[in-house]
């Protein structure tokens, strides 16, 4: 109802000429209201229903138009999308600065442009990394933190280009993902050719470590 009210001609013809309002989600084509005129933004047409994608699309579009952007959001998915697409779409252009801030005032403000530049070496793989290790729609991998993942990615030895390639075959995707995950678990699993082998080696290592800990505790107890 709110969106319908904003799109009523009685409202937008009298709206302030100093501001531009873009309304998305009502249909595939967003509507822009500026200086009392309604414009269908077909260049921003999207059939994606996820708000994270729409936020990123609009933010990048504004930055490329030379308008400074502030995204008020506290979502890791949005942060990853902004950094990835700012790096891929805005690099080498005269794109305007972009920041991301939380709705909560006490939290830090993140400079998206500075982050994209600082991590340009892994920006292309960022979506795949996030999907494998930290997205809230996938199971987390035990014992692998963000610092470890970034360290492995920055070596440049474990590409994830196939993981985000919709035309890639399943075996290639699985092979790249397996190599990266095994590398993240350390030297003991780097030579593994499958996740099954990786699990077995990790399980064996954990049992050996627990045996050492148990023996140490038993020895100290008997003293």
29's CB contacts (< 8 A; 6+ apart) are: 40, 41, 42, 44, 45
Same domain? For 149 and 192 the reply is yes
- Each residue of 15-41: pLDDT tens digit? 666 777 777 777 788 888 777 788 888
Same domain? For 26 and 114 the reply is no
Same domain? For 175 and 90 the reply is no
Q: Which residue, of 120, 147, 166, is where some domain finishes? A: 120
Cβ atoms within 10 Å of 95's Cβ, excluding its own = 21
Same domain? For 127 and 86 the reply is no
Q: Which residue, of 101, 120, 139, is where some domain finishes? A: 120
Q: What is d(CA 169, CA 221) in angstroms, rounded to the nearest whole number?
A: 56
Same domain? For 68 and 115 the reply is yes
Q: Which residue, of 75, 99, 120, is where some domain finishes? A: 120
What is the mean pLDDT of the segment spanning 136-140?
Answer: 63
Same domain? For 202 and 111 the reply is no
Q: What pLDDT, on a 0 to 100 scale, did the predictor assign at position 185? A: 81
Can you give 76-102 as a three-state secondary structure string? HHHHHHHHHHHHHHHCCCCCCCEEEEC
Same domain? For 158 and 178 the reply is yes
- Each residue of 149-174: pLDDT tens digit? 888 888 888 888 898 888 999 889 88
Chain centroid to CA 202: how far?
A: 28
Q: Are 124 and 158 in contact (CB under 8 A)?
A: no
Same domain? For 15 and 54 the reply is no
Owning domain of residue 168: 121-223
The confidence band for 99, taking pLDDT boundaries of 50, 70 and 90, is very high
Same domain? For 133 and 223 the reply is yes
Q: What pLDDT, on a 0 to 100 scale, did the predictor assign at position 3? A: 62
What is the percent of the chain with per-residue pLDDT over 70, rounded to a whole number?
78
The string of DSSP letters for 18-75 reads: T-EEEE-SSSSS-EEEETTEEEE-GGG------HHHHHHHHHHHHHHTT--EEEE---
Q: What pLDDT, on a 0 to 100 scale, did the predictor assign at position 218? A: 47
The confidence band for 113, taking pLDDT boundaries of 50, 70 and 90, is very high
């Amino acid at each position: 109802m709110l969106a319908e009210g904003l799109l009523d001609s009685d409202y937008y013809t009298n709206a302030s000429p100093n501001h531009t309002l873009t309304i998305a989600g009502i249909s595939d084509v967003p509507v822009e209201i500026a200086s009392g005129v309604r414009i269908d933004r077909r260049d921003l047409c999207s059939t994606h229903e996820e708000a994270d994608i729409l936020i990123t699309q609009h933010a990048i579009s504004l930055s490329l138009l030379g308008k400074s952007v502030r995204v008020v959001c506290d979502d890791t998915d949005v942060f990853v999308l902004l950094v990835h697409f700012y790096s891929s779409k805005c690099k080498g252009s005269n794109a305007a600065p972009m920041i991301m801030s939380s709705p909560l005032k006490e939290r830090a403000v993140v400079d998206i442009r500075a982050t994209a530049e600082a991590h340009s070496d892994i920006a292309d793989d960022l979506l795949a990394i996030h999907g494998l290790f930290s997205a809230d729609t996938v199971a987390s991998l035990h014992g692998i933190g963000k610092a470890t993942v970034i360290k492995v990615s920055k070596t440049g030895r474990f590409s994830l280009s196939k993981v985000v390639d919709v035309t890639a075959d399943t075996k290639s995707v699985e092979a790249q993902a397996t190599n990266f995950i095994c590398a993240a678990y350390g030297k003991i699993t780097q030579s593994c050719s499958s996740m099954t082998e990786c699990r077995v080696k990790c399980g064996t290592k954990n049992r050996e470590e627990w045996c050492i800990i148990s023996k140490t505790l038993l020895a100290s107890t008997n003293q």
